[in-house]
């Protein structure tokens, strides 16, 4: 019995040939990871640098900044590098949240998460959801390679663990067709990331402290709603409570020896993700404390 024996992955009696999804699709994120990294560098060079110059973030000549960035400037830990890094993530998260919400807004399972399990495992994945899913996997894969030359903050290793967990969750969820639930989890994660990177961008302009504080408050509200409420009490709860009946009638996530193993691994990794959310919540609390003592929101990392 090999690693990919259906017994370990799928509900009893289900064969790989019967699944409506093709696990080989996960090769696409691998193929497009490096092109996405190149896209990031080009976007930083030809879009972010001119915009930053126009907004007064940097007074250097635009052409010289672009040339320096393309000739390796993107690997150095400078103020400009940190701004460009935030710009890339802000553009990505904003675009993908809009695309993801537009894609999922018409799906009944966005509004009633129990619909994620109706007809499992025979649910097909429509084109828009497929693209949203694959682009998201590609993005997280593309975060790992640049992490070696991106800015290293005090939560660097926690962030690396987060990216690895996210990639594994995406892959396992796709292989066993937990795509709907995984897409919802990804959407709720993107929402808070839009605000945190938007806040960081604004904060680099010291003249806009009031605006950055307002954005931070919006981030805090979004973080609580999505990461500390929706993710554990709606999404993760549905996986634990609603999915067992469609996996097998007697399925128990607490029994480590019961097959299939893949859904249980997904739950365990999702709990690890929740643990990281708690870790970052502690950092956010420290940021709030420093705000109360310093008068402005500061990054506690």
33 closest CA partner among 134, 123, 118: 134
Altogether, the residues listed in the chain come to a count of 301
Q: What is the pLDDT of residues 251-264, one digit of tens each?
A: 999 999 999 999 99
For 16, 113, 120, the CA distances from 6, given in Å and listed in that order, are 7, 26, 15
Percent of the chain exceeding pLDDT 70 equals 97
Position 1 scores a pLDDT of 56
| Average pLDDT, integer, range 188-203 | 93
Q: What is the DSSP string of 174-238?
A: HHTT-HHHHHHHHHHHHHHHHHHHHHHHHHTSGGGHHHHHHHHHHHHHHHIIIIIIIIIIIIIHH
Confidence of residue 101 (pLDDT cuts 50, 70, 90): very high
105 closest CA partner among 166, 187, 224: 187
**Would you give the end-to-end CA distance of the chain in angstroms?**
47
Q: What is the pLDDT of residues 115-127, one digit of tens each?
A: 999 999 999 999 9
Residue 151 has pLDDT above 80, yes or no: no
Give the number of other Cβ atoms within 10 Å of residue 150's Cβ: 18
Residue 296 has pLDDT above 70, yes or no: no
Half-sphere exposure of 91 (CA within 13 A, CB side): 14
Residue 77, φ and ψ in degrees, nearest 5: -85, 85
Task: Report the distance separating Cα 109 and Cα 117, nearest Å.
Answer: 9
Long-range contact pairs involving 142-146 (C-beta distance under 8 Å, separation at least 24): 142/33, 142/34, 142/36, 142/37, 142/40, 145/33, 145/34, 145/37, 146/37, 146/40
Residue 59 has pLDDT above 60, yes or no: yes
Query: Ramachandran region of residue 205, left (φ > 0), alpha (ψ -120 to 50) or beta?
Result: beta
Signed CA dihedral, 248, 249, 254, 257: sign only = negative
204 closest CA partner among 85, 74, 64: 85
156 closest CA partner among 103, 93, 252, 77: 77
Give the number of other Cβ atoms within 10 Å of residue 270's Cβ: 22
Position 80 scores a pLDDT of 85
Average pLDDT over the chain reads 92
What are the structure tokens assigned to 169, written together?
A: 């969750």
Predicted model pTM = 0.93
Position 293 scores a pLDDT of 75
Q: What is the pLDDT of residues 62-100, one digit of tens each?
A: 999 899 888 877 777 788 888 999 999 999 999 999 999
């Amino acid at each position: 019995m090999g690693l990919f024996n259906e017994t370990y992955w799928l509900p009893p009696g289900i064969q790989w040939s019967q699944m409506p999804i093709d696990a080989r699709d996960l090769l696409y994120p691998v193929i497009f990871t490096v092109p996405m990294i190149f896209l990031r560098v080009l976007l930083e060079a030809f879009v972010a640098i001119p915009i930053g110059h126009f907004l007064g973030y940097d007074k250097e000549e635009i052409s010289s900044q672009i040339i320096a960035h393309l000739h390796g400037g993107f690997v150095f830990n400078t103020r400009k590098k940190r701004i460009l890094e935030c710009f890339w993530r802000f553009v990505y998260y904003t675009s993908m949240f809009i695309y993801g919400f537009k894609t999922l807004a018409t799906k009944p399972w966005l509004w009633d998460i129990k619909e994620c399990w109706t007809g499992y495992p025979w649910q097909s994945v429509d084109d828009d959801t497929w693209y949203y899913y694959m682009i998201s996997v590609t993005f997280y894969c593309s975060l790992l390679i640049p992490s070696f030359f991106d800015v290293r903050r005090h939560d660097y290793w926690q962030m690396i663990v987060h990216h690895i967990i996210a990639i594994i969750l995406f892959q396992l969820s796709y292989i066993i067709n937990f795509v709907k639930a995984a897409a919802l989890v990804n959407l709720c994660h993107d929402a808070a990331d839009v605000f945190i990177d938007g806040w960081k961008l604004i904060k680099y302009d010291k003249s806009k402290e009031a605006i950055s504080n307002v954005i931070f408050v919006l981030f805090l509200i979004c973080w609580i709603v999505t990461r500390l409420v929706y993710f554990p009490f709606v999404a993760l709860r549905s996986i634990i409570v609603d999915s067992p009946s469609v996996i097998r009638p007697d399925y128990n996530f607490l029994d480590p020896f019961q097959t299939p193993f893949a859904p249980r691994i997904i739950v365990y990794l999702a709990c690890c993700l929740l643990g990281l959310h708690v870790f970052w919540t502690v950092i956010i609390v420290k940021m709030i404390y420093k705000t109360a003592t310093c008068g402005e929101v500061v990054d506690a990392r």
